[in-house]
Structure 1
Amino acid sequence: MHLPVVDFQSPTAAADFCQSLHETGFGVLRNHPLSQSLVEGIYAEWLDFFRSDAKNNYAQDPVKFDGYFSPSISETAKNHTQRDLKEFFHIYPWGRYPTEVSDAAQRYYKEGSELAVTLLKWVEAHSPADVKARYAVPLPDMLEGSDHTLLRVLHYPPLSGQEEPGAVRAAAHGDINLLTILPAATEPGLQVLGKDDVWHDVPCDFGLLIVNIGDMLEEASGHYYPSTVHRVLNPTGEGRFKPRISLPLFLHPRRDVVLSERYTVGTYFDERMQELRGSKPKMQ
């Protein structure tokens, strides 16, 4: 499987990007409009935050699912028994936000949400006519008025050698949402499962932007855009001693949006939460 890197500034960027999404479930962009200096600043200050005790002042809300999720309550992917080796903080427009960091992540949330509108316009414009006819409303409109889009700041600590057998940084899973927007992380490890049932490395050069399809867009498009299984491997060699920070933005439509004859966003989300009841919080 080939994952092309698409130049956001290219006159064929939209078509090339959407072709990659259709064929692989992933699209990789360079020369995109998100501020690289902003991303680098977020990575640096949030690494310090995760290394501090301050994070414990924002323990996750078991109802709203905002705040800090420690490794002891981290996710267990569907069909897996071991928790992922990570900790993270959930940022919503209405949620708690640490006073120990700047507003950079909040500004990034806004930038990423604005870029999302452009990318969804691309996806809609390059959907075949029969696929486009399936969308209950234009794809960008699905996000209007939604306060469910989630920015997750993820920290994968260095490996200690004491991890439980079989535990990995992020076990194989698919995302639940519409699209996920992810700047290249501070360290490699992200892989996607191809149609050939082989795991392939996702390009991770610093400055790239990775976008993947979520289950909701797969449902809305009648599976034209596939939600592809992906994972984050444990590092080896010197990489074992390095932390990894990543910054996925999970685009979630309003709960009343119709995805298909079978589901609204709300009913689909609730069904998936029931499936993952034993592995909360799977909020993608």
Structure 2
Amino acid sequence: MTEFHVPTIDIGPYLVSGATARTSPDCAEVARRIDQACREVGFMQVTGHRVADSAIEGLAAALDEFFSLPLERKAAYRRDAGDNRGYAPPKSESLSMSLGVPPAGMMNDFYEAFTVGAEAGWYPGLDLPRSSYAPNTWPDAAPGFRAAVEEYFSEVTYISRVLLTAMADALGLDPGYFDAMTDHSIDALKMNHYALPEGEIELAGELMGMGAHTDFGILTVLWADQVPGLQVLGSDRRWHDVQPADGALLINLGDAMARWTNDRWMSTLHRVNPPIVDGRILRRRSAAFFFDGNHDAVIEALPGCYEPGQELYPPITVAENISAKVAGLKTGRAPAGADREAARVLAATAPSSAPAAPSAAPARPRVER
């Protein structure tokens, strides 16, 4: 069986300016490697992305500033029902329910999160639904948060579009093929914090930081601490630990791209196990940028990805696809087509190098900060 490996790809050639840069042999090699990674793993790490170190450092500082606030202060920014904006406290959701799979130990994911995203006001003249383009909530209790997050958001939005250009080349599509499907994209940045105050819970059975799921949109750009936790489900039905390399951003595909490519490319299942070392839950931070596409863009098999009559999925809009997954998360009823992923989660075995597991009757976890 092939050893599980998340490839590292230098996308620098796609950031070189000039009329012929995109048709260079270097870009062709990047596109080839992206196609291979998307076919075989559904995950990759990218270097040469030119996201400024200051933007990443600012993002990390913004997460620290907000998540270090007392819970009652953070709760003042709790997201409204139906709006994916603002604060979500620990144990308020379980992502595995988007596949109809109950959480391990019947306890919701213990991470807390803060989400910002594209607003309808960014696109004047378009009648965009609040459900996809809600206004942001900015925490005035963390005065440095907004500017740092907006800077990072801008940087990864650009990198996402560069990646989509390279992906169009990898699929043999015309230049700009996806432009009309992403010119008012539902973009969102979900900032996560994996830690619990001392004595917050007692570990009973398996504790899950973030349940097994696939992402919903086109692609995800993930910044994360180099702390254990992220696990990807391989074709061997095993969970494999993945940590970002120095200076790299992790990229994975979402359901929209898998459907567009008629499963030529993979929307890979992943989860976050709580980083428990010597009985302590280590603090872990991450920020997932979801590049999802226009709410009204139709997802149907792309040219060259299917033979007539062999389309695996019926046409669906980006917003409909996301809504189906979110409904599953809220109700526990798997959306149509999710039964395959749910079966894979239930059949998965232990990770290849799992973090130390708690004992059958563990003490209260300590949190290392």
Q: Is the 8 A contact 1:18 1:122 kept in 2?
A: no
Q: Distance in 2 between matches of 1:264 and 1:84?
A: 28
SS of aligned partner of 2:79: coil
For 1:59, the equivalent position in structure 2 comes to 78
Alignment equivalent of 1:264, drawn from 317, 323, 326: 317
For 1:4, the equivalent position in structure 2 comes to 7
In the alignment, is residue 123 of structure 1 matched against residue 162 of structure 2? no
**Amino acid corresponding to residue 194 of structure 2 in structure 1:** Y
Residue 112 of structure 1 and its aligned partner are, at CA, apart by: 0.7
Deviates more, 1:84-93 or 1:236-245: 236-245
Residues 45 and 14 (structure 1), Cα distance of their counterparts in 2 relative to 1, 3 Å cut: same
Alignment equivalent of 2:114, drawn from 66, 70, 89: 89
What percent identity do the matched residue pairs reach? Answer: 27
Deviates more, 1:194-203 or 1:64-73: 194-203
SS of aligned partner of 2:193: strand
Listed one character per residue, the Cα deviations across residues 169-224 of structure 1 (whole Å, up to 9, x for unaligned) are 11211111110001232422211111111222224234211000101110111111
In the alignment, is residue 209 of structure 1 matched against residue 234 of structure 2? no
For 2:36, the equivalent position in structure 1 comes to 19
Alignment equivalent of 1:277, drawn from 309, 330, 333: 330
Q: Is the 8 A contact 2:207 2:273 kept in 1?
A: no
Q: Is the 8 A contact 1:17 1:28 kept in 2?
A: no
**Amino acid corresponding to residue 35 of structure 2 in structure 1:** C
Structure whose CA Rg is larger: 2
Q: Distance in 2 between matches of 1:164 and 1:183?
A: 30
Q: Distance in 2 between matches of 1:76 and 1:191?
A: 14
Q: Is the 8 A contact 1:171 1:232 kept in 2?
A: yes
Q: Distance in 2 between matches of 1:120 and 1:98?
A: 32
Q: How many positions carry a matched residue from both structures?
A: 273
Q: Is the 8 A contact 2:221 2:289 kept in 1?
A: yes
Q: Is the 8 A contact 1:188 1:204 kept in 2?
A: no
Q: Is the 8 A contact 2:62 2:149 kept in 1?
A: no
Superposition RMSD on alpha carbons, in Å?
2.3
For 1:246, the equivalent position in structure 2 comes to 286
Q: Distance in 2 between matches of 1:192 and 1:111?
A: 26
For 1:46, the equivalent position in structure 2 comes to 63
Residues 164 and 66 (structure 1), Cα distance of their counterparts in 2 relative to 1, 3 Å cut: farther
In the alignment, is residue 187 of structure 1 matched against residue 230 of structure 2? no
Residues 174 and 223 (structure 1), Cα distance of their counterparts in 2 relative to 1, 3 Å cut: same
Alignment equivalent of 1:139, drawn from 172, 178, 186: 178
Matches for 1:151-190 after TM superposition, within 5 Å? 151-158=189-196, 160=198, 162-190=202-230
Q: Distance in 2 between matches of 1:241 and 1:271?
A: 33
SS of aligned partner of 1:71: coil
Residue 92 of structure 1 and its aligned partner are, at CA, apart by: 1.6
Residue 152 of structure 1 and its aligned partner are, at CA, apart by: 0.7
Give the TM-score of the pair, scaled to structure 2: 0.68
Q: Distance in 1 between matches of 2:247 and 2:48?
A: 8
For 1:110, the equivalent position in structure 2 comes to 154
Q: Distance in 1 between matches of 2:179 and 2:35?
A: 15
Deviates more, 1:151-160 or 1:115-124: 151-160
